[in-house]
Amino acid sequence: MSQNIQSNISKSPIVRYNKITKSFDAQIVLNELNLDINHGEKIALIGPSGSGKTTIARLLMTLETPSSGTIEVDGEQLWHMQSRGKLVRANEKHLHNVRKKIGMVFQHFNLFPHLTILGNVTEALIHVLNLSKAQATKKAIEILTRVGLQDHIKHYPSQLSGGQKQRVAIARALVMEPKIMLFDEVTSALDPELVGEVLDVIKGIAAQGDMAMILITHEMDFARDVADRVIFTDGGIIVEQGTPKEIFENPQSPRLQTFLSRFLKGHTDQVANSRIAAGIE
């Protein structure tokens, strides 16, 4: 458990999902989900495909609206705000202020192709936070150095590898100094040899930051290394949660046991296949 959790235990959670239900037409994707995330806590979200992990992240980013229930960020309602002592529907300004506390990195990097790496990272600093170009550049170079891309600032996304592009996307989110970062399967579109460099960057951020992190991942070893708490979702609910040791070494529910054994089998097959391909067997 990181020190941050200890020191922040008395504060209200940085994120609270309160009885969140989300349906798409007749399909209930999340069913009265309750989830509190503490300041600085690192959460790994695992579960089968279609179990609603991305939807959990998109709701927090206000890219989806809940069918019912509420979400609080840093003690404030996401969709509502106080006005003259009454709770009213949030206006754009309120949403913008709450959203500023949240950064997200997606599976596909979503970089601006027509901007340089530096341009991609300074864009929101200049146009959202109203920093001067000089201030924004200084900040961006600091962050790009942290993710090992100081030599690429003048390049365009098309000139970078997938791993480098993903590190730019991480830098672009990080530079806004969010209180919560969401990483949604950020390595699943990468060639296997590029996965490590991106995970290492995220591990570095996790180790030093008092930022809360939600890591949606199929990389179980990574989840085990980085997370304070692992959450397993299936069928629209949290089926089981606990420390990485509890979840990976002593899973209680049959659904989690099946999920992990399938995953381990897939992993073993993958290793065997690559050994065969490499002519080892």
Minimum CB distance to Mg ion smaller for 4 or for 54 = 54
**Dist CA 96 CA 99 (whole Å):** 5
Comparison of 25 and 281: residue with beta carbon closer to ligand ATP: 25
- For Mg ion, give the closer residue by CB, 153 or 214: 214
Alpha carbons 61 and 39: distance in angstroms, whole number: 17
Least distance (Å) between residue 66 CB and ligand ATP: 13
Minimum distance from residue 51 beta carbon to ligand ATP (Å): 4
| Minimum separation from the CB atom of position 106 to ligand ATP (A) | 11
Q: Are 90 and 77 in contact (CB under 8 A)?
A: yes
Q: How far is CA 124 from CA 42, 48, 127, 130, 136, in A?
A: 25, 34, 5, 8, 9
Q: How far is the CB of 31 from ligand ATP (least distance, A)?
A: 12
- The pair of structure tokens assigned to 32 is 């009265």
Question: Which residues 23-62 are close enough to bind Mg ion by CB under 5 A?
Answer: 54
Selection from ligand ATP, Mg ion, none that 52 binds (CB < 5 to 8 A by kind) is ligand ATP
233 binds Mg ion (CB under 5 A): no
Check residue 187 for interaction with Mg ion (CB under 5 A): no
> Minimal distance in Å, beta carbon 56 to ligand ATP?
7
Helix (H, G, I), strand (E, B) or coil at 61: coil
**Cβ count within 10 A of residue 212:** 27
Q: Which is closer to ligand ATP, CB of 156 or CB of 263?
A: 263
Distances (CA, A) of 222 to 33, 198, 245: 25, 11, 13
User: What residues line the site for ligand ATP (CB under 6 A)?
Assistant: 24, 29, 47, 49-55
Closer residue to Mg ion (CB): 66 or 119:
66
CA distance 68 to 70: 7
Q: Which residues bind Mg ion (CB under 5 A)?
A: 54
